[in-house]
Structure 1
Amino acid sequence: MITLVFNEDHTQLPAASENTIPVQLYGLPSAERADVSAIGSPALERIKRLGVEITTQSMDFLSIALAVTAADTFVRREDSEDGWTRAIRIALPLAEPDRWRNVSKRLASAFHFLSGDIWEFDFKEGGTLTPQPYRRRDRYQLIRLRGLDSVCLFSGGLDSAVGVIDLLKDGRKPLFVSHSYKGDKTKQDSVAEALDGRFARFSINAHPISANSETDISMRTRSCNFIAFAAVAAGALQEINRLERVELIVPENGFISINAPLTSRRIGSLSTRTTHPYFISSIQEIFRAVEISCEIINPYQFKTKGQMISECKDQSTLKAVVDQTVSCSHWKRSNQQCGYCVPCTIRRASLLAGNINEVNEYQYPDVTRVMTEPDKRDDLMALCIAISKRDSRNIPLWVSESGPLPADKIDEYSKVFTGGLEEVEAYFRLVGIL
């Protein structure tokens, strides 16, 4: 088992060893400690700009999420016994450790579902306190929260664009929460500039910095940080607007959210669960237990991506921003969407279903070329296999292979899954793959 030990003060951290990774929380690596990694350095500054003191619970959950992200980044899967499953212990000081000790097993279970790893949490006294907020008299540019009524994840992707467009068209006044990674931020800014309505934006970059050059890139826990940022924002919104409860909106189409394995070999490493209903419900239960007052909602849980696009409440705005959105799982490698990964394929199928054209220059604009390249065609082949088995397989059982689903909603989950496959099939037939 690898132990990650966290502290704001690098002098309180143990030396790095084969089974110990010291991590400075909410800071940058010190020149005095070359063996210390770091995470969360921009976070406290960003939180202060909310202009209101956030709850201790949401601050502690942010610390937990950052610790999990650090472990997910700094512990390489290839070094584990089976090349995938890692055994990770988190030694983390919190402001209210007793509150979180009561749910530590639930946290371990939720993150096991999310990442496939074995987690153990050791919460200690002395954690990071909520930072004192900046005031307008301090001449800092604060985020304008007054009058806002909800929080919405805003990634720069196509689903999140539809989500924020629909919210604004409904007259809602959301606070958009984002990861502020450099490439993502550019896309987010471009989409936000085209929006019409009352909203504000809050972004944080987790900014993990490893003491070693080699890190893991699977990043199965990325949604945890996103939700933690949103919980911080929701607490601030609740405080300043005296709201009883804040909606935390996760706009994700149901096909991707369920992410049922397209083939039997995709149940493990290729089956991500970042917004799976079971993970979301697990985090919601933890929030209730620790009294974080926000309700996580995915209004598109039973919509395909094509339905999201065709039913978007402001088609002109959607058409104006579609080329600024990103769906690709590979795009950061070349700053260009590949055009053939599963997310790209679903994107292209959904735009066909929604009758929206884009002028994006994909790396492979003609996906039929990919079918001739064995090192690239795996995703397309998996989708073809799934389509071929759609009419012969037990769909409720199939969609449940990625994780437990509520029995009373299984027909709806099955319908959105088959609907997603039908959209991809229509696209494949158009381009000549089928």
Structure 2
Amino acid sequence: MTHTRPSGTNWSGNHRYGATETLLPTDLAELAAAISAAESIRVQATRHTFNDIGDTDGSLLSLERLPTRITLDGDRVRVEGLVTFAQLAPVLEAEGRALHNLGSLPHISVVGATATGTHGSGSANGNLSSAVTALEIMDADGQAHRIDSEHAWFPAAVVGLGAFGVVTAVELRTVPTYTVTAQAFTGVAWDDIVADPKRLFASARSVSVFTTWGDPAHDLVWIKETDADAEPDYVTALGGRPVGDDLHLGRIRTVGNTTERGTPGPWHTRLPHFRAEALPSDGDEIQSEYFVPLDAAADALAAVRAVASVIDPVLLVTELRTVAADDLWLSPAYRRDVLAIHFTWRNDNAGVAAVLPTIEAALAPFQPRPHWGKAFTMPGETIRATLPHADDFVAAARAADPRGVFRNDYLRRTLAL
């Protein structure tokens, strides 16, 4: 018999799941039985989302008790179950392999991150989903399917938002291991940041800018560089001064949880902002993020800065990053290099909901795409208008799940699915 537990809340507590229970299968047979008996079901992964994408009025399902297996074969790695990037990375490193990119925190699951287009940073780096070469999915009848790059559903199912079924395994492309040195700088003027955003964000393998929009003394540029970077000294040439041990990301309470800076180390110990063994970020927060074309970065940043006084009361920090284009239909970086404008908010649902329309209106001329797992208020038709294959995605998802077992209010609201 499949055990259950209360569904509880998401990671930061700003969303309480409407489902009354979460099912905990211990093997694929129990998983198949749970799915095939359900009228409505969604997967609860590591719960690092800030909206109802993973909720349902039926039952939630977690893979946390299923076996977790990591199998490396040449340049591909198969990840089964609820494996996090923190668990995967050391296994790859031990075999001399790596991922091309990592998110700002490694605590998230491979399955959940790739399903929502979660990304990491770097003008030449695609998001985490762009490393996917195949998925293994269990459909609403409990049948298993492999969807690889030759499958017609592949560009829809990789960033699939849980609409195609339960992803039981992901296959990723790996690269040879590499060394990264991270350093954070203050002293770079805002005018220099926006004067040539493309050059700044391409100056190292990964570049993040942290700002509160009105306090330039605390603006921070965090770079993660390798020996192959084109302009490793670009930030210092702009007046950047290395930060010492006391690192502050805007108003976030970092409390010694960030990754090491100033010395070289393996990719997985330097690319994330936060250490795997520590609570990431602030914890007591809400997050939003919007992706705009990199070509429009300077104008988009000016538009947000013009409304900074409106958002300031609930803002902890904004992070700016870049992501390379890909061909995944619902990816925020579909067919365009993007600037990601990320907001970490105080954990105030009403306050955040009140300011999001102001940001979305400011960014509207640039056809922003929201992060699927974070807080936004953009109407579904506005989002779909930025995604050329939105209708194709809906058709593929309906073919994969004709009974609608994996659909929920979120998918109906955002994609008319």
What TM-score do you get using the length of structure 2 for normalisation?
Answer: 0.28
Give the number of the structure whose residues are more often strand, by fraction: 2
Give the number of the structure whose residues are more often helix, by fraction: 1
Which protein shows a greater Rg? 1
